[in-house]
Amino acid sequence: MITNDIFGALQLMVVGMLTVFCILLIVIGLGTLLIKLVNKYAPEEVTSQKPVAAAQSAVQQVDATVKAVIDAVVAQITGGKGHTEKITKL
Amino acid sequence: MEEIFNNLYQMTAFSDIVASNGTYIIMYLLAFVLLYLGIVKHFEPLLLIPIAFGVLIANFPGGDMGVYQADETGRIVDASGKVLAENIWDMSLPAIAHDLGLMNFLYYMLIKTGFLPPVIFMGVGALTDFGPMLRNLRLSIFGAAAQLGIFAVLLVAVGSGFFNIKEAASLGIIGGADGPTAIFTTIKLAPHLLAPIAIAAYSYMALVPVIIPLVVKLTCSEKELRINMKEQDKLFPPTNKMKNEKVIKIIFPIAVTTIVALLVPTAVSLIGMLMFGNLLKEIGSDTSRLFDTISNSIMNTATVFLGLCVGATMTVQAFLNWTTIGIVIGGFFAFGLSIASGIFMVKITNLFSKKKINPLIGATGLSAVPMASRVCNEISTKYDPKNHVLNYCMSSNVSGVIGSAVAAGVLISFLQNITL
């Protein structure tokens, strides 16, 4: 009875270890394939542009107000002949 | 007057405790030691404290909080030989609660049905990050090598003649260092050994900070432990760099579940739930409510009931016997062998590879995520403060969870239907 059980246990050991190795090798292969496919067909992470756009529009709003003030100042000083080309924050 | 005092004495638990020749005292001491380890030493407190308290409340005579184990025909007999149920499988849950008490109701509803271990696996999946594994895929193979302890102890336990093959398989699975997997396998193969196997599995997991350094000290040289993985990566850069990690992490759990389900269907209850939990995490905001529920509410509820029920199976009758001592010793060897086999697999790989690998990465091939990786990182930084191996260890550590679940699936599929 014990001899049979030992034989069964040995069989289980071989089959079990082979199965675990095979499954993890398949998982490794699958992961590698997945990385290659995704790198080839979907390499960029899709990130939401909305917050950036919102932030940009907020900056633009502030800039528009500041630009209007600067334009008025430039027009006043140059007698309406000059115009603003570039505004740089110092 | 004397009669009144005598009746009062008989009413309390003292009469049975005194008559038990100290066996109950041993169980209380065991509960206090486990509580001490959980509360003071912070060894897996989320698990050890419910288990320890379950042990404590299960061992008060007359309290009806201990779990009775049914034999193969469903018959339940108490310590005095009195038949409590002819066939528990014919009893309704309210009848179990009424006749056998609250803890038996919880045990037969949640544990014996195999319900809680996969639920916990779902929570574990939600808390697992496969990123380090995907970044170091080749290291994942050490998660397979570290399952050798399971099968080696199975062989030795059968050879000893103390355990039949189903009991030996349940004992060996302790080497997987994964509590839910050990419980799930034992429920399927040797439910009468659930108490000592669960306790041994969780105790050894809690003792990972002691056992891994011991095995590493016995098997590794200082030169090997100083192998710096980042320097090796600079010398031999990895070929597969992920450009879109989010998409890969979403597809990965779906693909792994499909492959494992096709090859080892008996492992699906564990792997499937693990990957489902992980998928909910990786999808992100669309499933964030589900992720939050499974990783907090469900996981915590399952852990409380699992811990209490497992603790409550440790009654005097079920625990204080030679089988339990055999399980405690065998479990330790299964654990140690799993760590050592992972280390030796790394050593063999280093013989044939130019890119050297720190053997600590093999030591984390058994599950016990993430404690095993943290312990190994501490060991490596002790030898070289700049040598952080945590991310590399997590690769084999996470693959060890898959490996032990697959090993459990193999054991269950081969042994579940054999008659002894």
Q: What is the pLDDT along chain B (420 residues), one digit of tens a residue?
A: 788 888 887 778 888 888 777 889 999 999 999 999 889 988 778 888 999 999 999 999 888 899 988 877 788 888 778 888 888 888 999 999 999 999 999 999 998 888 999 999 999 999 999 999 999 999 999 999 999 999 999 999 999 888 999 999 999 999 988 888 998 999 889 888 887 898 888 888 878 888 999 999 999 999 999 999 989 988 988 877 888 899 999 999 999 999 999 998 988 999 999 999 999 999 998 999 999 999 999 999 999 999 999 899 888 888 878 888 889 899 999 999 999 999 999 999 999 999 999 999 999 988 888 889 999 999 999 998 989 999 999 999 999 999 999 999 999 999 988 877
Give A11 to chain B, closest Cα distance, Å. 10
Same domain (yes/no): A80, A68 = yes
Q: Which of B152, B164, B414 sits opposite A5 (nearest CB)?
A: B164
pLDDT confidence band for A87 (50 / 70 / 90): confident
Chain B nearest-CA distance from A42, in A, is 7
Confidence label for A85 from pLDDT (cuts 50, 70 and 90): confident
Whether residue A66 is found in the same domain as residue A79: yes
Count: domains in chain B: 1
- And the tokens for B231? 């320097």
Q: Is the distance from CB of B320 to CB of B23 less than 8 angstroms?
A: yes
Distance CA B123, CA B118 (A): 9
- Give yes or no: residues A73 and A54 share one domain: yes
Residue A57 has pLDDT above 70, yes or no: no
- Let me know whether A2 and A34 are in one domain: yes
Q: Are residues A75 and A56 part of one domain? A: yes
User: pLDDT by residue (tens digit) across B326-384?
Assistant: 898 999 999 999 999 999 999 999 999 999 999 999 999 888 888 899 999 999 999 98
Interface mutation vs chain A, best among B134, B247, B341, most A CBs within 10 Å: B247
CA angle B50, B51, B55 (to 5 degrees): 115
CA of A14 to nearest chain B CA: how many angstroms apart? Answer: 9
Residue B384 falls inside a structural domain: yes
The answer to whether residue B375 sits within a structural domain is yes
Residue A41 and residue A66 in one domain: no
Residues A42 and A75 in one domain: no
Residue B152 maps to a domain: yes
Tell me the nearest-neighbour CA distance from B142 into chain A, angstroms: 9
The residue behind tokens 């502030």 is A62
Concatenated DSSP letters of B203-264: HHHHTHHHHHHHHHHHH--HHHHT--HHHHHHHS--S---S-HHHHHHHHHHHHHHHHHHH-
pTM over 0.90: no
Contact (CB<8Å) B246/A45: yes
Q: Which pLDDT band, with edges at 50, 70 and 90, does A59 fall under?
A: very low
Question: Which residue, A10, A31, A46, sits at the end of a domain?
Answer: A46
pLDDT given at position B348: 95
Claim to verify: residue A38 and residue A10 sit in the same structural domain = yes
Of these ranges, A8-22, A33-47, B364-378, the one predicted with the greatest mean pLDDT is A8-22
Cβ pairs A/B, distance under 8 A: 131
Domain tally for chain A? Answer: 2
pLDDT digits (tens, 9 = 90+) for B119-135: 999 999 999 999 999 99
User: Are the beta carbons of B158 and A23 separated by less than 8 Å?
Assistant: no
Q: Residue A48: its pLDDT value, please?
A: 54
Range of the domain at B398: 117-299+309-415
In a domain, B138, yes or no: yes
**Calpha distance B251→B254 (Å, rounded):** 5
User: Would B288 be classed as within a structural domain?
Assistant: yes
Chain B residues close to A50, C-beta within 8 Å: none
pLDDT for the residue numbered A60: 53
Residues paired with B85 in a beta bridge: B76
- B155·A6 Cβ contact <8 A: yes
Please tell me whether residues A41 and A55 are part of one structural domain: no
Q: What is the least distance, in Å, from the CA of A1 to any CA of chain B?
A: 10
DSSP notation for B284-326: -GGGHHHHHIIIIIIHHHHHHHHHHHHHHT--HHHHSSHHHHH
Q: Which of A12, A22, A23 sits opposite B414 (nearest CB)?
A: A12
Q: Which residues of chain B make contact with A10, given a CB cutoff of 8 A? A: 155
- Same-domain pairing of A5 and A22: yes
Q: Closest partner residue to A6 among B152, B159, B259, by Cβ?
A: B159
Claim to verify: residue A2 and residue A37 sit in the same structural domain: yes
Best residue in A13, A14, A24, A37 for a mutation probing chain B (most B CBs within 10 Å): A24
**Co-location of A1 and A15 in the same domain:** yes
Distance from chain centroid for Cα B363: 17
So what's the ipTM on this one?
0.86
**Residue A31 domain boundaries:** 1-46
Q: How far apart are CA A74 and CA B263, in angstroms?
A: 77
